[in-house]
Structure 1
Amino acid sequence: MTRARSRPWGPLTRLLGVRVLLDVQFWFPTWMIFLLERGFTPLQAALIDAIFNGAVVLAEVPMGAVVDRIGRKRALLISCALTTVVFLGIGVVSSFWLMALVWVLWGLLWALSSGLDSTYSWELAEEHPQAPSPSRYLGRSRLASGVAGVLSLLSAGFLLEIWAPLPYLLTAVLGLLALLLAATLPDVHGHARLASATTFTDAMQRPRVRTGILLAAIVLTVGVSIRIQFQPLGTEVGLTPSMIGVVYSIIAVTVALGGWLATRVPHRGHGMWIVGSIAVMALSYLAVALGAQHQLTWVTMLLLIPAGTAAFGVAKTLTDVWLLEAVGSRWRQTVLALASATNGLVMIGFRPFLVQIGDTQGNATAFLIWAAISGVAACGALFLVRGPGRKVLDAR
């Protein structure tokens, strides 16, 4: 049966609109500058960030279970409302302890939203024959997120210069608009629940689910941990803050395009595409290290780093599809959250390590070491995909 073209203002299009409104990143390149301008010390800013990351790691799996229990639409409405509250709070609060409390709430919001776009997009497309297919619609969702990222990253510094709280207050307003739009969306009823595991333990006993969680955690660890060195590397090679903003915009585009490309990959090739994408990330980090050592500034920042982030976009989307298909609707959000939480626990150790190496040995050395670690991770992923029991993993 051929799927029909989606209506211009149907629920699928409106969900993409919500994604654009929620996925703005006005805060991303400016949050440290903002806190320092508000009078916080670097140590206080670092403590606030650590509190946020701790809240995310602790809340990931519980929030995933909450989303599976209350449903996708309710979770999205709560996410929109919390976005407005959190970013309004960041924009107006000046006390350290109140700011820390707001960032704890932000961590809970982050955990609640983690994977929600994937599950809601997938299940809404399943229930609406206007969608091209769940995986193709997920690719469109990734592109919508990328558009939001590009527009907001390019304007973040400009908004901060106008008025420091402006990026955060604007995000709060967009969260309110997203809430109004999300209220018009239909809920999803999980017609595939009959094929889902009845308990979380049953879901975790499926080899394909366990492998998918490990692959997703590897992809997130390899692709996200090193990002803490992107800005220091840009500063080291002489880029201005506005130039670094352009680099981040290019990164957002490449991640989105990688996610879109992943939905065009033949299903039976997903495993090796994930492995290959991890290998490409490892090679890109090696090339970044060599490029930085030889002062190839623009090649490094505008070609080599985006090559790795494009590969991350491919691998991240493929692991999402892997888990969305493997676990069924009943425990989808919980399983995606478990993969994200596993990555978060690993990053607690790796990110300070990378920062320390960058500060003492140089950012090029940090990328070189991460390239080696990523190469080992690619070998581990290859074993998961092509090791003993792979025939079980290929079963659908």
Structure 2
Amino acid sequence: MLPDPQRRAFESNVWKSYLYGFLTDLPLTAPIWVLYLRDARGFSLTQIAWLEVPLFLLITFAEVPTGAVADRFGRKVSLLIGSALLAVAIAVYGIASSYLLILVSNLAWGLAFTFRSGADTALLYDSLARVGREGEFQRINGRFWALRSTALLTALLLGAPIAAATSYTFAIMLGALLNACAIPVALAMREPREPHAHVREPYLWTLAAGVREASARPLLRWLFLFSGILTPCGVAPLLLFQQPWLAAHHVDTAELGLWQAPVQAAQILSALAAGCAVSRLGERGTYVALPVTLFLCGAALARIDHAWIAAAFAGMALVRGLHNPLVDNSINRRIESRRRATVLSVRSVTKNALMATAWPIGGAVADTYGLQAVFLTFAVTSLVLGGGALALWVCAERADLPRRGPPEDLGSDIASSL
């Protein structure tokens, strides 16, 4: 039983995680970044897509080593480094005038992301575990993702009007200042150390053991692959191609945020409803709904060329909002604390490696055949490849069932905590 001061300190990590996530996910660049690079810097969609490839590759190679940093030296340390790097990277991004400098700032942003990725949810889960509340992780993590999405919604509503009233650069620099406010929040967090943590593994041992655990277990392998496939299929249409699609339908810069805000609101609602979705559909049923929904929405955007079909972007956002809390919970229930951030980082490696492949292909398809073709490409990929990876994960679950016993009744647990 923890003393009351320690218990309160760990419980306070919940609201501090909420605030940290909000501040680091408040990018005023969100509604304007593609148009900033295209109109202010003169890049084509293909150039913009290729600009992201080194970012995804850096994340791919740095994710697991920085996850091991979080496990070895502390999740709080990792979050501090991440928030400081993020603020600097965004500031440089706003004043960069050359392709090379924008590339460098992108790489710094990617490195900042890797220090945060996995460390934030690992700290949240372990803080709850220290006070005996790990059963509430699905609900609290759903709120965490919803609040991060709320930050993005806020940025969508503010970023475009600020850029229209001032300049792209002013909006981006203001965003960097807001990101920097996450640094004192990370400093105020209490590091949750497990009882065995006083005997720390060497860094390279932590790194190797975490990778070995993730790669040796089919349950994790196929779940990582499924998540990795769905990520670019859902994220690329929303982040890379939604703004050009809106511009092609004569949406002014000042109104971009208003069009994208309902899409972000859908993502918030779905993150909050993740527990209800699992309660009603079951874990597997909810997973099946994700690639099917992405396919239907992408096919609608490919076939119907009217402004009102922008509602399909909201359907993609529903998938994105459900995806992360659902996968986070599935993974966290299957791994041990001491290597939690490292194993979670392996998932991020998978999805970013696939993003590095998918984004330039998507940019080339869009420039050559048009936006409707790229929406169809991602729709078919999500259904065929995502569905295949999901089927393999279900088979691995069934094969592992005799050893693990019946699966937990996640639906009733989550529903009772809502």
Q: TM-score, normalised by structure 1?
A: 0.85
Look up the match of 1:274: 287
- Match of 1:387, SS state, is helix
Unaligned 5+ segments in structure 1 are: 1-5
Question: Out of 329, 346, 353, which is 1:345 matched to?
Answer: 353
Deviates more, 1:40-49 or 1:73-82: 40-49
Look up the match of 1:188: 192
In proportion to residue count, which structure has more helix? 2
Kept after mapping to 1: 8 A contact 2:213/2:343: no
1:11-55 Cα distance to aligned partner (Å, 9 max, x none) = 322221111111102112323444567656558766654443332
| 1:245 shift after superposition | 2.3
Look up the match of 1:244: 256
Give the direction of change, closer, same or farther, for the CA distance of 1:90–1:218 in structure 2 (3 Å limit).
Answer: closer
Quote the RMSD (CA, aligned, Å): 3.3
1:245-295 Cα distance to aligned partner (Å, 9 max, x none) = 223322222222222211332499213311222211111111222332xx2
1:360 matched to 2:368? The reply is yes
Look up the match of 1:234: 246
| 1:105 shift after superposition | 1.4
Give the direction of change, closer, same or farther, for the CA distance of 1:184–1:349 in structure 2 (3 Å limit).
Answer: closer
Question: Out of 158, 179, 202, which is 1:175 matched to?
Answer: 179
Count residues with an aligned counterpart: 386
CA distance in 2, matches of 1:40, 1:191: 55
| 1:180 shift after superposition | 1.2
Kept after mapping to 1: 8 A contact 2:75/2:120: no
- Match of 1:10, SS state, is helix
CA distance in 2, matches of 1:34, 1:362: 20
Look up the match of 1:3: none
Look up the match of 1:316: 324
1:198-235 Cα distance to aligned partner (Å, 9 max, x none) = 82224532332223222321331332233322222222
Question: Out of 12, 15, 23, which is 1:13 matched to?
Answer: 15
- How do residues 122-271 of structure 1 correspond to structure 2 at under 5 angstroms? 122-128=125-131, 133-161=136-164, 162-190=166-194, 199-200=209-210, 201-227=212-238, 228-264=240-276, 265-266=278-279, 269-271=282-284
Give the direction of change, closer, same or farther, for the CA distance of 1:269–1:229 in structure 2 (3 Å limit).
Answer: same
Q: In structure 2, what residue type is equivalent to 1:219?
A: L
Give the direction of change, closer, same or farther, for the CA distance of 1:286–1:47 in structure 2 (3 Å limit).
Answer: closer
Q: TM-score, normalised by structure 2?
A: 0.81
CA distance in 2, matches of 1:351, 1:23: 21
Question: Out of 336, 342, 345, which is 1:334 matched to?
Answer: 342
CA distance in 1, matches of 2:146, 2:252: 27
Higher RCO by CA contacts (8 Å cutoff, separation 6 or greater): 2
1:29 matched to 2:31? The reply is yes
Kept after mapping to 2: 8 A contact 1:125/1:137: no
Look up the match of 2:63: 60
Look up the match of 2:416: none
- Match of 2:231, SS state, is helix
CA distance in 2, matches of 1:101, 1:268: 44
Kept after mapping to 2: 8 A contact 1:289/1:367: yes
Deviates more, 1:316-325 or 1:62-71: 62-71
Percent identity reads 25
1:47-97 Cα distance to aligned partner (Å, 9 max, x none) = 654443332233222222222222211111111221222223334454654
Unaligned 5+ segments in structure 2 are: 1-7, 200-204, 408-418
